[in-house]
Structure formats: structure tokens, C-alpha cells
């Protein structure tokens, strides 16, 4: 499977971070939209790497519109010489309406239309077709030569792949229908992936008259490891906090329900509203931690990830502290690639 790492979002660190990731042997590297823009670091990474795929995991789709995303995707695909992946996610309603001050409605249907609109815009730029996209949420019907990029920019590479992240079945079906890949949310278990995610993707592919052939699934990425017991415990504590944070979100309750842990969502949600963040992490016991995360010394990680996922995913995101022992971590990455 392909093994992906991350790129530092701080632009002062992005170049070295990207160089280190490529030197460590990662197949690709992703940025996330958290406290910095997710696209700027990829521009620097494209300039200072030559082999890795570069993508967003994720950029918040509903904070933007199809035309802006089409422009960004086109430029990064050109500058990276065909290595860019446009990874999109919806975020949840409070962030879209209160943080970004953007519209929220029918997220799965809106996302489907957004992806189709981006593709329609790219088709106009690439092939000269008339831009005539009319949907329920987006309308794009004006494109003049002055605003049209040179199709030679990406002639050798084609348009970028579009990946979509999701948890719910409707959004997952959309990914299967209109995208090139699916990014499993970190708050995904093997059971949920096999029993909910993969069937939903297959339904989406069937709607489009396609099979899963060539479609890439990026697997869950909770890995708890370290060079010693102290590092391992610190990683476990941080991961418990992250699992608890996601578990407090009502939209993700279905993942807990499939394991019979639905009541945990109510408890975590109440603690989050009270600002009891440390207490939330303490609720995540060892059984829950080991269900969501692969836990162990570095040499055990590849075999366990392979056991869980090698037959159902094509790539995995794995963020290793490879600087601490480059040879050790390079071997872990190599083992994952062959899993």
C-alpha cells in the first residue's frame, strides 16, 4: 500500500518538512486545514520535492466555491507536475456557518454538486467546452478567454484527482459516485470501515456505472507508537484526547453505535460542553483506544495495520517521528508499503 505522511503548516517549516518526508520514503504527503491555510505549504512542497504526491486532507470545501477550488487545483497540479490531489471535506455545520460565515444545507447533495461543478470548470479549461453548469446550489455559466488558464499547463498530467473525506453513508456514497478516492476519517474503526464505509462506496460507484477498480481508499490513521515506553504513553494520552473529541460530535455517533458504545457519545458531549477536556480523554479506556488505533512499538505497526486493512485500503496516513531514528522509521515505512 502507499504510505503517506504530513507537511508542516507553518510556512517557515514546510520546505524542510516536505524534504524530510520525501527522504523518509513516503509515497505522499498531506496538509490539513486547521490553524493555517492548507494550500500554501503544498506550493512550497511542490517546489522542493520531485516524487511524492501532495494533497489536502482535508481542505474545507464549503468554505469556498467550485471556481476558487478549480483555480487552486489547476495551479497546484501544474506546478507540482501532476502530483496534486484535491482532498475535500464538509466540516460540520457550526464551523461552516459560525467560523466561515458560509451557507450550510443538504451537505451530501451540495458536495456532490460541488465536485461536479469543479469537473465542469476543468473540462471547459482543458477541452474548450462551453461552461454551462446549473445546479441547485452552484451555477457557473460564464467563462471568457481572459479568465481561462492555458490548457498546456496540465496537458501532460491531466486534471487533479479529487478525494473526499466523510463518515456518514450519504457523503461516502457521494465520494464513490463522483470522486477518485475516499479519505477515511480518523474516527473510523475496522468494523465500521468494512460494514458501513466500503458498502456505501460500492453503492456510489455503482450509481456511476463503475467498480472499485482504480478507486483509492485512504485508511484510518490513528497510530500510537514511540521509541520507548514514555513516548508510547504520551502518544496514547494524546490519541485518547483526540478520540474523545471526535466521539463527542453527534454526527459521528454511528461509529460508536456499531460497537454498542452509543451512550459514550452523550457522556463525551456533556463533558465537552462543560469544558472538561482532560476528563474526556480519561473516558477512553484501553479497549476503545485499541479499537480505533494501532498501538505498539514501531516494529509491530506495519504487521497490525496490514492485518486490519491491507485487503481493503490502498494507502495509509502514518505520521512517524522519523527524525529520532531515521533508519528505524524508514524500515517501518518500507514494511507498510509491502503490507
- Domains in the chain (CATH in brackets) are 2-230+295-337 (3.20.20.30), 231-294 (no CATH)
Q: How many whole angstroms separate alpha carbon 218 and alpha carbon 329?
A: 20
The more confident residue out of 125 and 316 is 125
Which of the four pLDDT bands, split at 50, 70 and 90, describes residue 314? very high
Q: Judge whether residue 320 has pLDDT over 70.
A: no
Closest CA to 108 of 194, 195, 30, 179: 179
Buried b (16+ CB within 10 A) or exposed e, 91-102: beeeebeeeeeb
Lowest mean pLDDT among 96-100, 116-120, 307-311: 307-311
* pLDDT-wise least confident of 51-55, 143-147, 309-313, 319-323: 319-323
* CA gap 338, 201 in Å, rounded: 25
pLDDT category at 324 given cuts 50, 70, 90 is low
pTM above 0.85, yes or no: yes
Per-residue pLDDT for 31 more than 60?
A: yes
Residue 321 has pLDDT above 60, yes or no: no
Average pLDDT over residues 214-242: 89
**Mean pLDDT within 140-148:** 97
The stretch 258-281 carries a mean pLDDT of: 95
Alpha-carbon gap, residue 58 to 38, rounded angstroms: 8
Please answer whether residues 185 and 166 qualify as being in contact, where contact means their C-beta atoms are separated by less than 8 angstroms.
yes
- For residue 322, pLDDT over 90 is answered with no
Average pLDDT, integer, range 103-129 = 98
pLDDT of the residue at 319: 58
Q: Looking at the predicted structure, is the pLDDT value of residue 326 above 70?
A: no
% of the chain at pLDDT higher than 70 = 97
For the cut 70, the answer to whether the pLDDT of residue 248 exceeds it is yes
Instruction: Pick 169 or 302 by higher pLDDT.
Output: 169
Q: Percentage of the chain surpassing pLDDT 90?
A: 82
Whether 143 has a pLDDT exceeding 90, the answer reads: yes
* Residue closest to 56 by CA, chosen among 104, 88, 80: 88
Cell representation of residue 33: 486545514
C-beta neighbour count of 156 within 10 angstroms: 9
Amino acid at each position: 500500500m502507499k504510505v503517506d505522511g504530513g507537511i508542516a503548516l507553518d510556512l517557515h517549516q514546510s520546505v524542510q518538512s516536505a524534504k524530510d518526508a520525501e527522504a523518509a520514503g513516503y509515497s505522499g504527503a498531506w496538509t490539513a486545514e486547521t490553524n493555517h491555510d492548507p494550500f500554501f505549504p503544498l506550493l512550497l512542497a511542490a517546489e522542493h520535492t520531485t516524487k511524492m504526491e501532495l494533497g489536502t486532507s482535508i481542505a474545507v470545501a464549503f468554505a469556498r466555491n467550485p471556481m476558487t477550488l478549480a483555480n487552486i487545483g489547476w495551479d497546484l497540479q501544474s506546478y507540482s507536475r501532476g502530483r496534486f490531489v484535491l482532498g475535500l471535506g464538509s466540516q460540520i455545520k457550526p464551523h461552516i456557518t459560525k467560523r466561515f460565515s458560509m451557507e450550510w444545507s443538504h451537505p451530501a447533495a451540495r458536495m456532490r454538486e460541488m465536485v461536479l461543478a469543479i469537473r465542469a470548470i476543468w473540462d471547459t479549461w482543458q477541452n474548450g467546452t462551453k461552461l454551462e453548469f446549473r445546479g441547485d446550489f452552484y451555477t457557473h455559466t460564464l467563462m471568457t478567454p481572459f479568465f481561462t488558464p492555458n490548457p498546456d499547463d496540465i496537458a501532460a498530467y491531466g486534471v487533479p484527482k479529487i478525494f473526499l473525506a466523510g463518515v456518514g453513508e450519504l457523503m461516502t456514497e457521494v465520494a464513490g459516485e463522483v470522486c477518485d478516492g475516499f479519505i477515511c476519517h480518523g474516527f473510523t474503526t475496522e468494523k465500521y470501515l468494512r460494514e458501513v464505509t466500503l458498502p456505501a462506496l460500492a453503492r456510489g460507484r455503482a450509481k456511476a456505472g463503475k467498480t472499485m477498480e482504480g478507486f483509492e481508499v485512504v485508511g484510518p490513521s490513528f497510530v500510537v507508537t514511540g521509541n520507548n515506553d514514555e513516548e508510547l504513553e504520551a502518544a496514547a494520552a494524546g490519541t485518547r484526547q483526540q478520540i474523545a473529541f471526535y466521539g463527542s460530535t453527534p454526527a459521528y455517533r454511528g461509529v460508536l453505535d456499531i460497537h454498542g458504545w452509543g451512550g459514550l457519545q452523550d457522556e463525551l458531549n456533556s463533558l465537552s460542553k462543560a469544558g472538561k477536556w482532560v476528563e474526556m480523554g480519561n473516558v477512553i479506556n484501553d479497549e476503545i483506544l485499541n479499537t480505533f488505533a494501532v498501538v505498539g512499538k514501531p516494529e509491530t505497526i506495519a504487521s497490525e495495520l496490514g492485518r486490519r486493512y491491507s485487503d481493503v485500503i490502498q494507502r495509509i496516513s502514518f505520521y512517524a517521528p522519523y527524525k529520532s531514528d531515521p533508519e528505524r522509521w524508514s524500515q517501518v515505512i518500507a514494511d507498510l508499503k509491502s503490507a
